[in-house]
Amino acid sequence: MSESRHSSKSVYALIGEAAIARLIAAFYRRVKDDPVLRPLYPEADLAAAERRLRLFVVQYFGGPSDYSAERGHPRLRMRHAPFAIGRAERDAWVAAMLAALDEAQIGEPAYSEMRQYFENAATFLINRPDLTLHEPKP
Protein backbone atom coordinates (compact mmCIF):
# COMPACT_ATOMS: atom_id res chain seq x y z
CA MET A 1 0.00 0.00 0.00
CA SER A 2 2.46 2.61 1.10
CA GLU A 3 4.71 2.04 -1.92
CA SER A 4 1.94 3.19 -4.22
CA ARG A 5 1.23 6.36 -2.26
CA HIS A 6 4.54 8.08 -2.75
CA SER A 7 8.03 7.48 -3.98
CA SER A 8 10.73 6.73 -1.44
CA LYS A 9 13.26 8.65 -3.54
CA SER A 10 14.63 11.78 -1.93
CA VAL A 11 13.52 15.17 -3.21
CA TYR A 12 17.11 15.70 -4.34
CA ALA A 13 17.05 12.50 -6.38
CA LEU A 14 13.67 13.47 -7.85
CA ILE A 15 14.37 17.05 -8.94
CA GLY A 16 18.16 17.40 -8.90
CA GLU A 17 20.65 20.11 -8.09
CA ALA A 18 19.71 22.48 -10.92
CA ALA A 19 16.05 22.70 -9.85
CA ILE A 20 17.10 23.45 -6.25
CA ALA A 21 19.45 26.17 -7.51
CA ARG A 22 16.58 27.70 -9.54
CA LEU A 23 14.31 27.56 -6.49
CA ILE A 24 16.74 29.33 -4.18
CA ALA A 25 17.62 31.94 -6.81
CA ALA A 26 13.90 32.67 -7.28
CA PHE A 27 13.50 32.94 -3.50
CA TYR A 28 16.33 35.48 -3.10
CA ARG A 29 15.05 37.58 -6.00
CA ARG A 30 11.95 38.01 -3.85
CA VAL A 31 13.87 38.66 -0.63
CA LYS A 32 15.74 41.45 -2.41
CA ASP A 33 12.52 43.43 -3.00
CA ASP A 34 10.56 42.39 0.09
CA PRO A 35 9.97 45.22 2.58
CA VAL A 36 9.63 42.81 5.54
CA LEU A 37 12.45 40.41 4.68
CA ARG A 38 15.18 42.56 3.12
CA PRO A 39 15.97 44.60 6.26
CA LEU A 40 16.61 41.38 8.21
CA TYR A 41 19.41 40.22 5.92
CA PRO A 42 22.62 41.83 7.13
CA GLU A 43 24.74 41.71 3.98
CA ALA A 44 24.49 44.17 1.09
CA ASP A 45 25.13 41.33 -1.33
CA LEU A 46 22.74 38.41 -0.89
CA ALA A 47 24.90 36.00 -2.93
CA ALA A 48 26.56 34.41 0.09
CA ALA A 49 23.24 33.98 1.90
CA GLU A 50 21.79 32.44 -1.27
CA ARG A 51 24.67 29.98 -1.43
CA ARG A 52 24.28 28.95 2.24
CA LEU A 53 20.56 28.30 1.87
CA ARG A 54 21.12 26.38 -1.37
CA LEU A 55 23.74 24.10 0.18
CA PHE A 56 21.49 23.57 3.20
CA VAL A 57 18.42 22.67 1.11
CA VAL A 58 20.47 20.31 -1.09
CA GLN A 59 21.73 18.55 2.04
CA TYR A 60 18.40 18.52 3.90
CA PHE A 61 16.58 16.94 0.96
CA GLY A 62 19.06 14.14 0.44
CA GLY A 63 21.94 15.57 -1.61
CA PRO A 64 25.63 15.99 -0.77
CA SER A 65 26.47 17.33 2.70
CA ASP A 66 28.56 20.31 1.57
CA TYR A 67 26.57 22.57 3.91
CA SER A 68 27.77 20.78 7.05
CA ALA A 69 31.27 20.37 5.66
CA GLU A 70 31.46 24.18 5.45
CA ARG A 71 29.22 25.35 8.26
CA GLY A 72 28.97 22.46 10.73
CA HIS A 73 25.70 21.30 12.29
CA PRO A 74 22.83 23.46 10.95
CA ARG A 75 21.47 24.52 14.41
CA LEU A 76 18.89 26.65 12.68
CA ARG A 77 17.22 27.99 15.84
CA MET A 78 20.58 29.18 17.13
CA ARG A 79 21.68 30.67 13.80
CA HIS A 80 18.42 32.62 13.50
CA ALA A 81 18.54 33.99 17.05
CA PRO A 82 20.10 37.31 15.92
CA PHE A 83 17.16 37.98 13.57
CA ALA A 84 13.81 39.05 15.02
CA ILE A 85 11.34 36.58 13.52
CA GLY A 86 7.70 37.11 14.45
CA ARG A 87 4.59 35.83 12.68
CA ALA A 88 4.79 38.53 9.97
CA GLU A 89 8.42 37.69 9.15
CA ARG A 90 7.64 33.96 9.11
CA ASP A 91 4.67 34.54 6.81
CA ALA A 92 6.68 36.77 4.44
CA TRP A 93 9.46 34.13 4.25
CA VAL A 94 6.97 31.34 3.53
CA ALA A 95 5.09 33.44 0.93
CA ALA A 96 8.36 34.14 -0.91
CA MET A 97 9.30 30.46 -0.83
CA LEU A 98 5.88 29.28 -2.06
CA ALA A 99 6.06 31.75 -4.95
CA ALA A 100 9.58 30.50 -5.71
CA LEU A 101 8.37 26.87 -5.70
CA ASP A 102 5.81 27.90 -8.34
CA GLU A 103 8.29 29.91 -10.39
CA ALA A 104 10.83 27.07 -10.36
CA GLN A 105 8.02 24.71 -11.40
CA ILE A 106 8.73 22.13 -8.71
CA GLY A 107 6.30 19.29 -9.40
CA GLU A 108 4.74 16.64 -7.19
CA PRO A 109 5.61 14.78 -5.06
CA ALA A 110 8.61 17.05 -4.34
CA TYR A 111 6.41 20.18 -4.17
CA SER A 112 4.30 18.97 -1.23
CA GLU A 113 7.24 17.59 0.69
CA MET A 114 9.18 20.83 0.34
CA ARG A 115 6.18 23.02 1.10
CA GLN A 116 5.41 21.10 4.28
CA TYR A 117 9.00 21.28 5.46
CA PHE A 118 9.35 25.02 4.77
CA GLU A 119 6.04 25.89 6.45
CA ASN A 120 6.87 23.87 9.57
CA ALA A 121 10.52 24.88 9.82
CA ALA A 122 9.68 28.58 9.40
CA THR A 123 7.09 28.33 12.21
CA PHE A 124 9.68 26.62 14.43
CA LEU A 125 12.07 29.52 13.78
CA ILE A 126 9.71 32.16 15.21
CA ASN A 127 11.76 33.60 18.05
CA ARG A 128 9.78 36.78 18.83
CA PRO A 129 6.17 35.58 19.15
CA ASP A 130 5.41 38.87 20.89
CA LEU A 131 6.17 40.81 17.70
CA THR A 132 2.73 39.93 16.38
CA LEU A 133 0.70 40.34 19.55
CA HIS A 134 1.02 44.13 19.76
CA GLU A 135 0.60 44.06 23.50
CA PRO A 136 0.85 47.44 25.16
CA LYS A 137 4.17 47.74 26.96
CA PRO A 138 3.88 48.19 30.76
* CA neighbours closer than 13 Å in the CB half-sphere of residue 60: 17
Q: Does 12 bind ligand HEM (CB under 6 A)?
A: no
Alpha carbon of residue 76 to chain centroid: 11
From the CB of 46, what's the least distance to ligand HEM, in Å? 8
- For residue 71, which of 59, 83, 84, 82 has the smallest C-alpha distance? 59
Is residue 41 part of the contact set for ligand HEM (CB under 6 A)? yes
Confirm or reject binding of residue 52 to ligand HEM (CB under 6 A). Answer: yes
Does 128 help bind ligand HEM (rule: CB under 6 A)?
no
To 10 degrees, what angle do helices 110-124 and 11-33 make? Answer: 50
Does residue 79 touch ligand HEM according to CB under 6 A? yes
- Asked if 85 is part of the footprint of ligand HEM (rule: CB under 6 A), the reply reads yes
Give the span between the Cα atoms of 32 and 113, in whole angstroms: 26
Q: Which residues bind ligand HEM (CB under 6 A)?
A: 37, 40-41, 43, 49, 52-53, 56, 71, 76, 79-80, 83, 85, 89-90, 93, 118, 121-122, 125
